[in-house]
Structure 1
Amino acid sequence: MPTRFSSACAQSDLPSALPPVDVLWETVIPAGTHWSGILRRGLALRVIDLEGGANLAAVFHRQEDPLERYNMADTLKAQHTAHLTRGHALYTDMGRVIASITADTLGWHDPLGGVGDATLFMRKYGEQRYQAHRNDMIRNGRDSLVLELSKYGLGPRDLVANVNFFSKVAVGEDGSLEFLPRHSHAGATFDLRFEMNTLAAFSTAPHPLDPHGEYAPKPVKLIAWRAYAADSAASADDLCRTACAENQRGFINTDRLFA
């Protein structure tokens, strides 16, 4: 799909390292595990691929009303794109912006490939259960995300189309999807800013289209910092807000929710 974003919204270097005073907390999601949390409006995550080759599957729900959640179709349609990078907003099914990518050294994140389930992972990697393999057990992405959502009273029916950060999938002329290995490198980083109070669930399980025959997930680091005050909003000249007319409307809809 063609994009109407300017060159200013393409791959870019991140700002310098965050001053320690700005860091609220940080954590590492180990390889093949999962994490979830409530991320307040105005908070941002700096997300880092520590070793290269990571995949971070993510789903997002509005904290106060989880029926409102990230919507892949509206996100791509509104911004005329088939991938996500700096300047892109992540839309909910209510026409509001739940998060936005404000910086990105990689330039491409996959919103199309979905998440692998137990059947797929068994076929690709075999079986390694916790009882025998402990932390070396094989965890699939779908079960990992559902487990995290269950901590907040949600279930399998609440698992919607996810984003696969750090992964790249090319779309062929016939609509086929091709996973491109070695896309992400050690130190690849993006900043994800939350425009709503958000329940975020993450899994570092491998991408479902990854052709590698060995189960080899990678760890990801999260660094949380405050991009703007929770009772404020992204500035009028913000890159993500001004990237296209649809984003301007999406941010206005979001701001009105918190007015």
Structure 2
Amino acid sequence: MSVKTNDIQNTSVQSLASIDLEKIKQREICAAGEGWMAEVKKNQTLRIIDTEGNQAVDTLFISSADTAERYSATDTLAQNQKVFLEEGSALFSNKGRVIATITEDTCGRHDTLGGACACESNTVRYAHDTYPMHSCRNNFMHSIATHPVAQKHDLTMRHIGPNINFFMNVPITPEGGLAFDDGISAPGKYVDITAQMDMIVLISNCPQLNNPCNGYNPTPIELVIYE
């Protein structure tokens, strides 16, 4: 069951305690299962707050100066020499540069391998009748088709690639497979991503209902950009 609005507000206040409120440039709630997009300038920080806990946040980073440069899962894995991201992890682009860094993290582990759910993958993983269900790929495509930031930078479907799943728990099995387990986050947990270049952030607040990554109950997140 979702928590009450005033409980979300109280959680948000606690999660913002370390930020000088006068330095906040943008603060928004992204509804359960919806998409979000914004520009984050170099040295600004994006804080993603898991307001109710156990919510997966699929995220892409794209350079504002050159949209052909964007977050690369393979480069990030290779350079960090670890599968899961945490405080101190550098996020690398497909041109081998650091596009952002995780500068604060109260959750402790974020997935790089599970990717974004899609109508097609839902039918393979679950059942054919899940095809019409909303998905992260649909959120990405809708944002790219409609959001003013996407129009400003001429983004298209080719800018959608492998993403990070913040707060999502995808352990690796002894056989080398992936398991989608209950999240290890909790209400008010957050992650700070500091931009190392001007960048575009594209988020799908995952609508998945078929595995426990959202506790089978997608919930809102809060997004704060600050200096």
TM-score class normalised by the smaller sequence: 0.7 to 0.9
Counterpart for residue 65 of structure 2: 64
Q: Distance in 1 between matches of 2:141 and 2:207?
A: 16
**1:94 counterpart residue number:** 95
- Answer whether contact 1:99 1:196 (CA < 8 A) is retained: yes
Q: Distance in 2 between matches of 1:102 and 1:163?
A: 16
Deviation of 1:52 (Å): 0.9
Q: CA deviation at 1:175?
A: 1.5
- Aligned pair in 2 of structure 1 residues 179, 215: CA closer, same or farther (>3 Å)? closer
Counterpart residue number, 1:247: none
Q: Hey, what's the Cα distance between the residues in 2 that align with 1:203 and 1:213?
A: 13
For residue 46 of structure 1, report the CA deviation from its aligned partner: 1.5
Conservation of the 8 A alpha-carbon contact between 2:183 and 2:214 = no
Supply the distance in 2 between the matched residues of 1:21 and 1:212 (Cα, whole angstroms): 34
Structure 1 stretches of 5 or more lacking a match?
1-13, 130-137, 227-259
Q: Cα deviations across residues 42-95 of structure 1 (Å, max 9, x unaligned)?
A: 110121100111111011111121111100011011111001010001000111
Please provide the CA RMSD for this pair: 2.6
Q: What TM-score does the superposition give when structure 1 sets the normalisation length?
A: 0.72
Question: What SS is found at the alignment partner of 1:87?
Answer: coil
Partner of 1:161: 162
State the Cα distance separating 1:213 from its structure 2 match: 10
Counterpart contact for 2:32–2:207, Cα < 8 Å: no
Report if the CA contact (8 A) 1:114-1:208 is conserved: no
Residue 77 (1) aligns with residue 78 (2): yes
Structure 1 contact 89–97 (Cα < 8 Å) conserved: yes
CA distance in 2, matches of 1:198, 1:53: 27
Match of 1:54 in 2: 55
Question: Contact between 2:167 and 2:183, CA under 8 Å: does it hold in 1?
Answer: no
Aligned length: 205
Quote the residue 1:193 is aligned against.
Answer: 194
Indicate the SS of the match to 2:171. Answer: strand
What do residues 152-190 of structure 1 show as CA deviations (whole Å, max 9, x unaligned)? 322223211000001111112321001220421111111
Whether 1:116 and 2:117 are equivalent positions in the alignment is yes
Q: Contact 2:55–2:214 (CA<8 Å) still a contact in 1?
A: no
Contact map agreement 2:55 2:213 (CA 8 A) in 1: no
> Which residue in 2 is equivalent to 1:4?
none
Which structure has the larger Rg? 1
Task: Name the CA distance, whole Å, in 2 between partners of 1:159 and 1:145.
Answer: 7
Aligned residues with identical type, % of pairs? 28
Q: 1:212 to 1:17 in 2, by over 3 A?
A: closer
Structure 1 contact 55–167 (Cα < 8 Å) conserved = yes
